Amino acid sequence: MTPAIDNPLAERRYLKMNGLGNEIVILDLRGESIRVRAADARAIARAQGSFFDQLMVLHDPVSPGSDAYVRIYNTDGSEAGACGNGTRCVGWAMMSDAGMGSGVRPLTVETRGGLLPIKPLADGGFTVDMGPPKLNWQDIPTRDPFFDTSGIELQIGPIDDPVLHTPGVVSMGNPHAVFFVDDPYRYDLERFGPLLENHPIFPDRANISLAATPRRDHIILRVWERGAGLTKACGSGACAALVAAVRRDLADRKATVSLPGGDLVIEWRESDGHVLMTGPVAFEHEGRLSAALFRDA
């Protein structure tokens, strides 16, 4: 086994942030050829100071016009295609003198889900252009061909009295299934989340959301994140919930989405079909990754 001290991530600086309580760790590996392994991500997540829901790793840009390529890791070491809350934190880190960059200007980062423009706001928040949702069953993806993905055949519970049923499915760079209910807090999402995340109908697994629409401009949301579990907030989940609600004529194209960690403003822009996510970020602390973290990685 390679000694822990030989791990190139040992003693690397990291930032610990959160977006509405969604725990984010940022590593800047621009200018390096280092790649984070799944075992490395799991090791970082186990440490108290660097625990995360998502680990955002900055690499040199790939596409022309972008400022960085960002790889996103869940606590189980799997990679995600998008993380809205984490992308806002990346924007702060790259734009803030206290972070990893300098100067406040719009940026564009790239993930597996595509190019994501980030715009700083006067109140300290950020707007991220999450791009257009993918609504075709092959792009989400689902195992079975569903020609209307606004509500697919999937349920939990007795066939004649299901507990949850007919979710809308959307990809925002990662797959989401949104179940509409009267009160998301009346359901045991910790119990149903893992079952639905790993349901065979989702070949790449899925993020599972429970959404209520008390008004057309307000969505109440809880999310079980693929590879991370129950979370205080999920930016891409909030985007998916609005898209799913609009498709069912339950919401307008712009709404406040209330998650356990706070509120996001989501707009599904009619002019180009892009989804815009606006919300705050919070810096917690910075630190160094101890070599001991990687002893068993």
Under the banding of pLDDT at 50, 70 and 90, the label for residue 2 is very low
My answer on whether 288 and 256 are in the same domain is: no
89 is catalytic: no
Catalytic residue among 25, 43, 83, 118: 83
Confidence of residue 271 (pLDDT cuts 50, 70, 90): very high
pLDDT tens digits, one per residue of 120-161? 998 989 999 999 999 999 999 999 999 999 999 999 989 889
Q: Determine, yes or no, domain membership for 150.
A: no
pLDDT confidence bin for 34, thresholds 50/70/90: very high
Which H or E element spans position 256?
strand 254-259
Q: Looking at residues 262-280, what average pLDDT do you find?
A: 97
Q: Give the ranges where the chain is alpha helix by DSSP (H).
A: 38-46, 84-95, 189-197, 235-247
pLDDT, residue 4, reads 45
Q: What is the residue-averaged pLDDT of the chain?
A: 93
Residue 132 lies in a domain: no
Q: Which domain holds residue 232?
A: 155-279
Mean pLDDT of 198-202: 97
Distance between CA 63 and CA 42 in Å, rounded? 28
Are 116 and 164 within one domain? no
135 located within any domain = no
The SS3 assignment for 209 reads strand
Name the residue among 17, 83, 10 with its Cα closest to residue 44.
10
What confidence category does residue 205 fall into, taking pLDDT thresholds of 50, 70 and 90?
A: very high
In a domain, residue 241? The reply is: yes
Say whether both 182 and 285 belong to one domain. no
CA distance 20 to 223: 13
When divided into structural domains, the chain yields a total of: 2
Burial label for 7, CB within 10 Å (0-12, 13-18, 19+), is buried
Tell me, yes or no, whether 136 lies in a domain. no
**Residues 117, 14: one domain?**
yes
Domain identity same for 288 and 250? no
| Residue 145 belongs to some domain of the structure | no
- pLDDT score for 96: 78
Band of residue 3 on the pLDDT scale cut at 50, 70, 90: very low
Amino acid present at 69? Y
The token duo for 280 is 């705050």
Pairing type for strands 229-231 and 275-279 reads unpaired
- Are 113 and 166 in the same domain? no
Residues 238, 177 share a domain: yes
Contact criterion met (CB below 8 Å) for 70 and 104: no
Residues 269, 170: one domain? Answer: yes
When pLDDT is cut at 50, 70 and 90, the band that residue 16 belongs to is very high
Is 234 among the residues known to form the active site? yes
- Quote the CA–CA distance of 141 and 124 in Å, as a whole number: 35
pTM of the full structure: 0.91
213: domain CATH number is 3.10.310.10
Together in a domain, 172 and 93:
no
End-to-end distance of the chain based on CA atoms, in angstroms? 9
pLDDT digit string, tens, across residues 98-109: 556 545 678 999
Does 112 lie in the same domain as 53? yes
Asked if 259 and 287 sit in the same domain, the reply is no
Catalytic hit among 196, 206, 210, 234: 234
In this structure, are 102 and 171 located in the same domain? no
| pLDDT tens per residue across span 206-221 | 999 999 999 999 999 9
What digits encode the pLDDT tens for the residues 232-260? 999 999 999 999 999 999 999 999 999 99
Cβ atoms of residues 234 and 266 within 8 Å: no
